[in-house]
Structures are given as C-alpha cells and as structure tokens.
Chain A
Amino acid sequence: MKKGMVGAAFGLAMTALLPMAAKAQGNLSVYCSVQEEWCRPMMAAFERATGISVAMTRRSSGETLTQIRAEAQNPRGDVWWGGTGDPHMQAAQENLTVEYRSPMLEQLQPWAVRQAEQTNFRTVGIYAGALGYSFNAPELQRRRIATPRCWADLAKPEFRGEVQVADPNTSGTAYTMLATLVQIMGEDPAFQFLRALHRNVNQYTRSGAAPARAAATGETLVGITFLHDAVAQKVTGAPVELVGPCEGTGYEIGSMSIIRGARNMANARRFFDWALTAEAQALAADAKAYQLPSNRNAPIPPQAPRFENVPLIDYDFARWGSAEERTRLIDRWQREVRAGAR
C-alpha cells in the first residue's frame, strides 16, 4: 500500500516534469549572415520544427568572421548560417570551424558538394547566386545608349562615370568579379579591361549590394552586383534590367559552417541537417531571397535568375578563395587599377 502511494506520487511528479522536459530541448546560438527577413523566419521555423530555442545574431559575413576569430578561445556561437562562401572557406582554413558530414549531402547540387569536399567538409553550400549587373532602363533610354550585353560593353566611353561596383578591399562581391574576370580573360587582359573600366566607375562602394540599390534609384546607370541583389530591387518595382554577361560569369556559394568548440554541438548538427532540407530552403523565396537553393528538391523561386540563362564559368573556389591568391590579386588591383587616374 505504502509502496503504491510512493509510486503514485513518483508518477505524479514525473508527469509534472513532463511539459518542462518537452520544452527544454536545449538552446542554439546562430550567427546569421543573410538579410534579416530571411534570418528570422528560418530561425522561427527551426524552433517550431524541433522545439530548440534559437538565439540569432545577424551580421555581415566579414563582421561575423571577425567575431568568430576574436571568440576563438571561448566560442559563443554554434552555427554560422549564410553569407558568401569565401569567409566560410577562410574560417575552415584557419581551423575555426569543424568537419561535419551531413546525411543530407547526397540531396545537394554538385557545386555544393564540391565546395564541401574542397574544405574537408567544414562548410557546405546552401545557395548560389550569379554575378552580373543591372542598369536603370529609363535613364539608359534617355541617353540613347545601346543595351549592354557583355562585360566588355561596360568599358565603352558612353558609360563614362556611370558604372558602380564595390571595392574588393572591403567586399566579397567585388573580389568575386575580380577573380571571375581573371578566369574568363586571363590575368593580364583582365587587368587591362579593369583599367579601362576604372575610367567609367563613379564610385567603389564598400558594401557589395549597394550598387544595385544605386542603379534602382538612378544614382548610377549601371551597378555590378550579384544578380539576386538586383532582383530584390526589381520586385519592389524599380525600373532596372538584369544582365548576365555574354562572356560568362562567376558565382558565389552561400555557405554554412559549425563553429569549433560549439557549446551545443548536437543541436548545431541538427540545425545543419535541417537547413539543408528542401522545406527549409523553400523559405527563401518568401523572404525575398532569390538565390538558387542547394537542395536539388527545393523549389526555385520563379523570379530567381536561372543559371541556364546565365553562362556560368567553372569557378575554381579552392584556388581563388585562398588567402594568398586573394591578397596578391587585390594588391595588384590596388596598384594598377585603383591608383590610376580617371
């Protein structure tokens, strides 16, 4: 009898604890490097799917890499989700992130898998976006300039002072353009082209996406950016047209990594797997992110610039993403292009 009482009491106590156990699925700290309105629904969806409570910080990928470096001895974040691939690969090179072979890898596009292999599975591609440019259509018509189709068109004299592009010293987008041109044309002709382009550039912005906005408002005629940044302007009604250059173009792979020494390693892996599913990647379109998802089964947003329409080059991320190549190219650009007269 007495034993039964104790058992009942124990059972009661256990049921009292149950809701708490369901709630306490643990925590996860995510550094998010895409735009805020994509970060938030992603984290909310993950919380709904797993019951794990997520604390999310949004910063640009450069700032996040700085943060992870500074915190290396005592990491505060668990997963770094989003942002262009180069800083992720740099973090992998500097041993700031850990290897993880997700079971989801087999569902991914070949470019995403290749990037994971190149970094020993320390990072993985979650989306891709092609480089290109957008121009302000009414402004172009008013000046009676023929519609540009290629990279070479931008160096023509009628675009004098009308092209805007980011500074490769500060922006991964601009570095992608630099590396892309070198891969298309060969290094010396590429620099020759860049010197000609330099005369047409009105400003080297610091942020990579800024030229898209400037072209949308007419502050500049042409803005060189990733095409999905230009799409984001176009869907809000800006009078811009997108160009995937005829010579071919490079692309970025937005990536995801698990931070070395993550305090919630198990939950970090769970997030990693979940973020690679088709359902998770389908959230991008609602968040006005028009990149190509890396999961083969994820729906491609109808507005997204399809890779089929844009001639893509075989971008060598391992070579052009390495710190030495990057420093050498940017130094040469600074010396031979930026320092030149306009």
Chain B
Amino acid sequence: MGALKLARLALLCAALGLLLPWHGLEDGFKEFRAWPHGNAAPLPMLLGTGARWWLWPLPCLVLLGAAAALGKRAHAALLLLAGGGITFWIFLMGEAIGLRGLEWQWLSPWLAEAPPQPSLGWGALLLLVGATGFLAAGFAALGGFRGDAFIAFLVTGSGFLLLLFVFAPLTTILLAAVYEGKDFAPHALVARLSAQEAWSLACLSTHQGCGVVWNTLLLATLTAAISTAIGLFFALLAVRGGMRATPLFRAMTLLPLITPPFVVAMALIVLFGRTGIVTTLLWEWFAIPRSRWIYGLPGVLLAQVLAQAPIAFLLLDGALRAISPSLEEASATMGARRFTVFRTVTWPLLRPALAAAFLLGFVESLADFGNPLVLGGDFDVLSTRIFFAIAGARHDPGRAAALALLLLFLTFGAFALQALWLGKRRYTTVTGKGDSGLPAPLPKGLKFTAAAIVWPWMIFTAVVYGIILVGGFVHDIGRGDMSFTWRHLTTAFEVEWQDGMALRGSAWDSLLTTLEVAAISAPLTAGLGILLAWLIARQEFRGRRLLEFMTMLSFAIPGTVVGVSYIMAFNVPPVELTGTALILILCFVFRNLPVGVRGGIAALAQIDRSLDEASATMGASALQTLRRVILPLMRPAIITALAFSFVHAMTAVSAVIFLVSARHNLATVYIVGRVEAGEMALAIAYSTALILIMLAVVIGIEKLVGRAEIARRAGGAPPPTPTRAGA
C-alpha cells in the first residue's frame, strides 16, 4: 500500500470522526438521538457554540492533513505534523481539563474559565485512528518501513495501543513508588526497594522466613524447571513414543489449563490437608503422623506444576512436531545411534521451545496469585504481598509499587537469561525446500524414563480432578460429608419456567458476562498477537526491539498491579472505561497478548524467510504474503493463541478483581467470593461447570480452525509423487 492511499483513507476516517459525537455517551444509543446537539454533539458543533474553544487546533490540523493527502505526492512533513499534532493535542487537553474543569493549575492564565470536559467518545476515537494513519503515511513517505504504508500503519497503531493500555497504566502506578503520601520522596523508593521483608536471608541461619524475593525466585525456578521437564517427557512420548495414547494425553493435559484458580489448590487440601483423604489413609494404615506440609512451598509448587506442565507440553509438542525429520534422518543415515541423534539434533532444535516453556513457567509462577493465596501458609511471595499491600488492612500503594518493581526486575532477568541461552543461532526447520522424512523414534532409556514419569503424573492429575468432579455433588467434601446432592448446582444454575425462561441461579449473571467477555477478547488477542509476532519477527524497522519489549511488558506485571493501575488510569477522562465490559476486554487482550506474540514468534522462527521472499519476488504485497503464505503455515500458533486467550480470560482473577462492576461481574471473582465465605462446595460446583464449558469451547476451536498439520509423508507409505521443488 502506498503512502498516499493510506493518507487518503486516514483523511476519510478523520472526517467521519468530526461528524460523530465527540464525547462518550453514558447511556449508549439512547443519548445518540440528541445528535447533533446535547451530549451527542460532534466536534464542529462544540466549536461553533464555543463550548470547547480550546480544541480549535484540531480541525486546522485535519485540514493540514487533507492538504497533504489530496496532493499528487504524499508530503511527509505535513502528514507527520498533522498526525502527531492531533494525537498530542487531544491527550494534552484531555488531561489538562477534566470533570471538575481545569486540572493543571499552571495553565490557569489561559484556561481558567474552562467548563468541565467529560471523556472522549466515538468521534475522538475515529479522529485518533485517522491521526495514526497520517503519522504512518508520513513515516512511509519518508522511506521508513521500506516505504510500505501498510506495515507502517500496523506498527504505529499497535505501538499506540501498547502505549495507551500497557505503558500508561504502568507508569501511573509505578510513580506511586516515589511518593510518600502526597510528597515526592525518592529516598522512600530506595528504602522500600532494599527493605528487609524483600531481601532477608534469615531462613539460612534461623527458623524465620526468608525475604519475599528469595521465596518468589525459589518457587518460580522450581516450578519452571519441573513443569518444563514433565512437559518435555509428555511431548516426547506423545510425538515420538509410537503410542496410541496421544488423544488421551491431550485431553488430560488440557484439564489443568482450563481450571479456574483456587480449585486445584482446594482439591489438594481435600487430598493432602491435615484431615485430607490421603493423609487420613496414610495415618490409619501406616501410622504416618498427620502434618500440615501442604501449606507452604510444597503445596504451592505442586499446584503450580499441575497448572504449568500442560502449557509446557503444548509448547514442546508443537515444536517437536515442527522439527523437520529430514535432519534426523540425515544424522541416522550417517550412522548415529538413536541417542546420539536425539542429543545432537533433536535436543538443540528444541532449545527455543524449551526456553519458551521454562520462561512461561517462570513468569506464570511469578504472577500466580490464587495458589499462594490458598496454599501459601506462612510462605509469602511477591504477588500476594503486593495484593495485600494494596487491599490489606494496611493500605500502602507505595510499598506495593516498590514490590511490583522488584517483580518486574525478576521477570526481565528471566527474559535476558533466555536471550543469552539461545544466542544468535538459527532454528529454522520448516523451509520451502523438499521436506519429507520420518521422525526418529525415541531412544529406549529415554522412553522408559518418560513413561515412568508420565503415567504416575497422569494418575495424580486424574485423582485431583476426580476430587473436583465429585466435590460439586456432595454435601461438604472438606469435612468428608460425601452424601450426594444437587443442592450446589441448583443454587448456582437454577432455571425457572414461568412465562418463559427465568435464570434464577446466583451464578448466571457472572457466567454470561464471562462468556461474552472471553468470546470477544480471544479473537482480538490472537489476531493482534500473531500480527505483532509477524511484525517483530519478519519486518525490519527502527524501534522493533522496543515494540517487542512493550508487548512482553504486560506479561511481567502481576495481575493485581494491572487491575489497580487500570482503575487509576481509566476512571477519569480523557479515557474513561471503568464500569464497562470494555475495560475487562481490553485488560484481557493486553494481558494475554504476550502468549500470542511469543507463540507466533516461535512458529515464525521455524518458517524459512525464503518463503516470504519467494512470495515478494512474485509480486505479492506484504498483506498478500501475510494472508496467503504466513497465516496458513501459522495455524498451530493461531489455534494455541485463540484457545489460550479464551481460557485465560475465563480463569483470570487477580487482574480483574478490581475491574468488575455491579453490571459486569465475572465468574472467577464470584468463585473467589464463595471460597472466602467458606463455601467450597458451591465454588467447586461452579468450577466444574466452567471446566465443561471451556472444554467444549477449546475442542470447538480445534475442530473449527482445523488441526494443524504440516504436510509430511505418512508413516511407512512411499510418497505418491516425489516432487522435490528446489531440492
């Protein structure tokens, strides 16, 4: 797409923006009837009546953009000025003049009489999109992004979104770390960052607990290492083990992924608590004394590994399937033994996926909030500390922000280590060249080791889920009252037939909202994530690393911090979103984005660039290459991203606990409330329903988008027509 074409589209968009209501409509379309007067007035009307005279620069800037777009050649400087100017002015004035009139007192000589200004609406949104278009066209006209305006628009647009929904809220809350009450106090930051509660090493020498940073690090490292190892064994056995158990594996490993938070932790207590089922059996049969070992590091670790191992499996399974067997065949042909093939060919090729699995496990453990909350005992980690610094009996946002900073450092440390380990090597295995062969079977010893770990783990998982399944249908599983009842399910999901259907159950509201929000945010997340992955992995432009960093940022921030920062940033104009379903959707999209991006980058790393180049040589544009070549090859990554973001939107809790409102409540927040009230059974019953729904949706997504197969010769059968393009 040329710069001029984009500029004209942007102009169209901006013109439309000038026609729509400028400010947000509280009552939606009901207020729209007042157009073009009252609350629904568009910008020209507001300017004409003098109500918003400080916005006069905006139409002038649009005219400037029009002059640049309607000429014969795109005028770069004018476009940049128009686009940048509009964006800057809208936000500057939006921040300066708020609901109570002028907010920035130093502007009072000029704007003292400014009336209150509510939040931005549809008109402003479209004008901002137009401004982004101007900016992108300007960049392209300057020769940036190799002159491709489409790429330029994608980069500028996504960068803008990331700034607004990741970076801005984060800055808002981190600024709190340098404030003591209302005073600016940098020394407070130093004191908070080096506090004893974070760094104490007392546990090495005495019975006291160690600093919360060490706890967190220890837990995250153990979780990541163990879950990656288990995931690897599962993947090896599934892909190379020559067994028919793969569907069973996929089903079993899916389960922990689609479990709402708290539920696994509760099941573990039912099993291994001091009066738990297993504990009691051990006590009665073998006289093993009953202890409270589950509360603390072991319990949290167990729960996190149960949750993380399947994610590691999904990642490694995909990577293992994508490894071209021809390399292994070549190695075997040259006389390497099975184990040598595995050690020297398969293992090194798995390294990016291993690193990704470890990193995911590490970061997820850092951010995990539900399990340490229920099972932590005296073992405190950063995420719970932050939550209680904000919502606990002692409200201290400064301390919370400092702890959040520490958590961020840990996460970035992990990313840096990953980059170091992978180095600059290439891991391309899917190429346009002849690519056929049979995957090498596993070495015997490895296969037995894998089986010895995989099957007991499967049984353990089955028992935990059995407890969850049973727990919803008995009176009180925590106290061992195992008589059957429908009571919990009818409390939650009662339906009454009286002049039509009435949903009487207490869970319906939250369930329907959750489904709606998850269904909207999943495709958005997957789409934006894959697009960003493609931009980052395949396009050369300045600021690429910065864009990558920003997409990863939201993953590193603990959910609680995201939640509170979203309220602080989006409760007041210019961008006012609290109390709507939109803020939940945005929160999910930007929170789950990193998974789509990482998955996309990993998938792209295995697709050879020569395919893009071939497409470009034959005259396809960037858009066509993306649509016809890259996207079909990336189907596995897209499915994973879709399923993952849907499931995470349905199971997230810490990020949204502050964002839900009376009209838009979410299932997980409701469940947390039940757990707090000690109603484990109702919580478990609701969770069972959620699990079934998510299961259906994930399987549906797989069926709908299709199981990803990169065409390979079927095992044993000779290839029908050995066409070897370019071999």
| CB-contact partner of B663 in A55, A71, A209, A327, under 8 A | A55
Q: List 14 A-B contacts (CB under 8 A).
A: A36-B670, A59-B673, A62-B395, A63-B391, A63-B658, A70-B564, A76-B578, A90-B395, A168-B393, A170-B388, A219-B274, A219-B292, A233-B678, A237-B481
Question: Given known contacts A36-B506, A74-B99, A74-B576, is B661 in contact with A57 (CB within 8 Å)?
Answer: yes
Hey, which chain A residues are within 8 Å of B674, CB to CB?
Answer: 36
Is there a chain B Cβ closer than 8 Å to A228's Cβ? no
Residues of chain B from 447 to 489 with CB closer than 8 A to chain A in the complex: 476, 478-479, 481
Is there a chain B Cβ closer than 8 Å to A245's Cβ? no
Residues of chain A from 36 to 65 with CB closer than 8 A to chain B in the complex: 36-37, 40, 55-60, 62-63, 65
| CB-contact partner of A60 in B391, B478, B662, under 8 A | B391
Q: Which residue of the partner chain B has the closest CB to A210?
A: B678
Is there a chain A Cβ closer than 8 Å to B147's Cβ? no
Hey, which chain A residues are within 8 Å of B579, CB to CB?
Answer: 76
Question: Given known contacts A69-B395, A330-B394, is B676 in contact with A60 (CB within 8 Å)?
Answer: yes
Is there a chain A Cβ closer than 8 Å to B217's Cβ? no
Hey, which chain A residues are within 8 Å of B72, CB to CB?
Answer: none
Judge whether A169 and B394 touch: CB under 8 Å.
yes
Q: Which residue of the partner chain A has the closest CB to B481?
A: A237
Q: What are the interface flags for B555-568 relative to A under an 8 Å C-beta threshold, 1 for contact and 0 otherwise?
A: 00000000010011
The majority secondary structure among interface residues of chain B is: loop
Distance in Å: Cβ of A138 to nearest Cβ of chain B:
11
Judge whether B206 and A36 touch: CB under 8 Å.
no
Chain A contact residue count (CB 8 A cutoff): 58
Residues of chain B from 277 to 329 with CB closer than 8 A to chain A in the complex: 292, 295
Judge whether A170 and B392 touch: CB under 8 Å.
yes
Which of A106-114, A198-206, A269-277 contacts its partner?
A198-206
Hey, which chain A residues are within 8 Å of B206, CB to CB?
Answer: 341
Is there a chain B Cβ closer than 8 Å to A73's Cβ? yes
Distance in Å: Cβ of A180 to nearest Cβ of chain B:
15
Hey, which chain B residues are within 8 Å of A60, CB to CB?
Answer: 391, 676
Question: Given known contacts A71-B571, A218-B275, is B393 in contact with A171 (CB within 8 Å)?
Answer: yes
The majority secondary structure among interface residues of chain A is: mixed
Is there a chain B Cβ closer than 8 Å to A172's Cβ? yes
Judge whether B677 and A67 touch: CB under 8 Å.
no
Is there a chain B Cβ closer than 8 Å to A212's Cβ? yes
Judge whether A67 and B662 touch: CB under 8 Å.
no
Hey, which chain B residues are within 8 Å of A203, CB to CB?
Answer: 292, 295, 377-378
Of A63, A74, A213, chain B has the most CB atoms within 10 Å of the CB of A74
Distance in Å: Cβ of A273 to nearest Cβ of chain B:
21
Judge whether B393 and A73 touch: CB under 8 Å.
no
Question: Given known contacts A66-B564, A73-B571, A206-B373, is B207 in contact with A341 (CB within 8 Å)?
Answer: yes
Question: Given known contacts A206-B373, A233-B678, is B657 in contact with A63 (CB within 8 Å)?
Answer: yes
Of B207, B567, B662, B663, chain A has the most CB atoms within 10 Å of the CB of B662
Distance in Å: Cβ of B127 to nearest Cβ of chain A:
23
Is there a chain A Cβ closer than 8 Å to B3's Cβ? no
Q: What are the interface flags for A102-134 relative to B under an 8 Å C-beta threshold, 1 for contact and 0 otherwise?
A: 000000000000000000000000000000000
Judge whether B99 and A73 touch: CB under 8 Å.
yes
Hey, which chain A residues are within 8 Å of B100, CB to CB?
Answer: 73
Q: What are the interface flags for A56-98 relative to B under an 8 Å C-beta threshold, 1 for contact and 0 otherwise?
A: 1111101101110111011010000000001000100000000
Q: What are the interface flags for B193-207 relative to A under an 8 Å C-beta threshold, 1 for contact and 0 otherwise?
A: 000000000000011
Is there a chain B Cβ closer than 8 Å to A29's Cβ? yes
Is there a chain B Cβ closer than 8 Å to A303's Cβ? no
Q: How far is the CA of A171 from the CA of B387 in the complex (A)?
A: 12
When A and B form their complex, what is the total count of cross-chain residue pairs whose Cβ atoms lie within 8 Å? 126
Judge whether A206 and B571 touch: CB under 8 Å.
no
Hey, which chain A residues are within 8 Å of B207, CB to CB?
Answer: 341-342
Is there a chain A Cβ closer than 8 Å to B273's Cβ? yes
Is there a chain A Cβ closer than 8 Å to B723's Cβ? no
Judge whether A169 and B571 touch: CB under 8 Å.
no
Is there a chain A Cβ closer than 8 Å to B519's Cβ? no
Of B100, B373, B479, B572, chain A has the most CB atoms within 10 Å of the CB of B479
Judge whether A202 and B678 touch: CB under 8 Å.
no
Question: Given known contacts A29-B662, A58-B673, A62-B393, is B564 in contact with A236 (CB within 8 Å)?
Answer: no
Q: Which residue of the partner chain B has the closest CB to A40?
A: B506
Hey, which chain B residues are within 8 Å of A190, CB to CB?
Answer: none
Judge whether A213 and B678 touch: CB under 8 Å.
yes
Question: Given known contacts A36-B673, A55-B662, is B292 in contact with A202 (CB within 8 Å)?
Answer: yes
Of A36, A220, A237, A340, chain B has the most CB atoms within 10 Å of the CB of A36
Hey, which chain A residues are within 8 Å of B20, CB to CB?
Answer: none
Which residues of A are interface residues toward B (Cβ below 8 A)?
29-30, 35-37, 40, 55-60, 62-63, 65-67, 69-71, 73-74, 76, 86, 90, 168-172, 174-175, 202-204, 206-207, 209-210, 212-213, 216-220, 232-233, 236-238, 326-327, 330, 339-342
Q: What are the interface flags for B365-405 relative to A under an 8 Å C-beta threshold, 1 for contact and 0 otherwise?
A: 00000000100111000001000101111110000000000
Question: Given known contacts A57-B665, A170-B393, A219-B292, is B275 in contact with A206 (CB within 8 Å)?
Answer: no
Q: How far is the CA of A66 from the CA of B571 in the complex (A)?
A: 13
Q: Which residue of the partner chain A has the closest CB to B674?
A: A36
Q: How far is the CA of A60 from the CA of B393 in the complex (A)?
A: 11
Hey, which chain A residues are within 8 Å of B661, CB to CB?
Answer: 55, 57, 76
Extra inter-chain contacts (7) besides given A66-B658, A207-B676, CB under 8 Å: A62-B392, A73-B100, A170-B392, A170-B393, A206-B388, A218-B274, A233-B678
Q: How far is the CA of A90 from the CA of B392 in the complex (A)?
A: 13
Q: What are the interface flags for B342-363 relative to A under an 8 Å C-beta threshold, 1 for contact and 0 otherwise?
A: 0000000000000000000000
Is there a chain A Cβ closer than 8 Å to B617's Cβ? no
Q: How far is the CA of A14 from the CA of B685 in the complex (A)?
A: 50
Q: Which residue of the partner chain A has the closest CB to B480?
A: A217
Question: Given known contacts A209-B678, A342-B207, is B571 in contact with A74 (CB within 8 Å)?
Answer: yes
Distance in Å: Cβ of B476 to nearest Cβ of chain A:
7
Question: Given known contacts A170-B393, A172-B393, A206-B373, is B572 in contact with A74 (CB within 8 Å)?
Answer: yes
Hey, which chain A residues are within 8 Å of B673, CB to CB?
Answer: 35-36, 58-59
Q: How far is the CA of A202 from the CA of B481 in the complex (A)?
A: 25
Q: How far is the CA of A156 from the CA of B447 in the complex (A)?
A: 56
Hey, which chain B residues are within 8 Å of A218, CB to CB?
Answer: 274-275
Residues of chain B from 393 to 437 with CB closer than 8 A to chain A in the complex: 393-395
Is there a chain A Cβ closer than 8 Å to B498's Cβ? no
Q: Which residue of the partner chain B has the closest CB to A27?
A: B662
The 5 closest A-B CB pairs, nearest first, are: A55-B662, A218-B275, A170-B392, A70-B567, A213-B678
Hey, which chain A residues are within 8 Å of B390, CB to CB?
Answer: 66
Hey, which chain B residues are within 8 Å of A232, CB to CB?
Answer: 678
Distance in Å: Cβ of B595 to nearest Cβ of chain A:
27
Q: Which residue of the partner chain B has the closest CB to A171?
A: B393
Hey, which chain A residues are within 8 Å of B99, CB to CB?
Answer: 73-74
Is there a chain A Cβ closer than 8 Å to B49's Cβ? no
Judge whether B657 and A65 touch: CB under 8 Å.
no
Residues of chain B from 542 to 576 with CB closer than 8 A to chain A in the complex: 564, 567-568, 571-572, 576
Distance in Å: Cβ of B509 to nearest Cβ of chain A:
10
Hey, which chain B residues are within 8 Å of A204, CB to CB?
Answer: 378
Distance in Å: Cβ of A54 to nearest Cβ of chain B:
8
Is there a chain A Cβ closer than 8 Å to B660's Cβ? yes
Is there a chain A Cβ closer than 8 Å to B208's Cβ? yes
| CB-contact partner of B662 in A56, A71, A74, A339, under 8 A | A56
Hey, which chain A residues are within 8 Å of B481, CB to CB?
Answer: 237
Distance in Å: Cβ of A292 to nearest Cβ of chain B:
20
Q: How far is the CA of A172 from the CA of B394 in the complex (A)?
A: 9
Judge whether B479 and A217 touch: CB under 8 Å.
yes
Q: How far is the CA of A7 from the CA of B29 in the complex (A)?
A: 33
Hey, which chain B residues are within 8 Å of A206, CB to CB?
Answer: 373, 376, 384, 388, 392
Distance in Å: Cβ of A311 to nearest Cβ of chain B:
26
Q: How far is the CA of A37 from the CA of B388 in the complex (A)?
A: 25
Q: Which residue of the partner chain A has the closest CB to B26?
A: A263
Distance in Å: Cβ of B494 to nearest Cβ of chain A:
13
Judge whether A66 and B295 touch: CB under 8 Å.
no
| CB-contact partner of B393 in A30, A86, A340, under 8 A | A86
Judge whether A71 and B391 touch: CB under 8 Å.
no
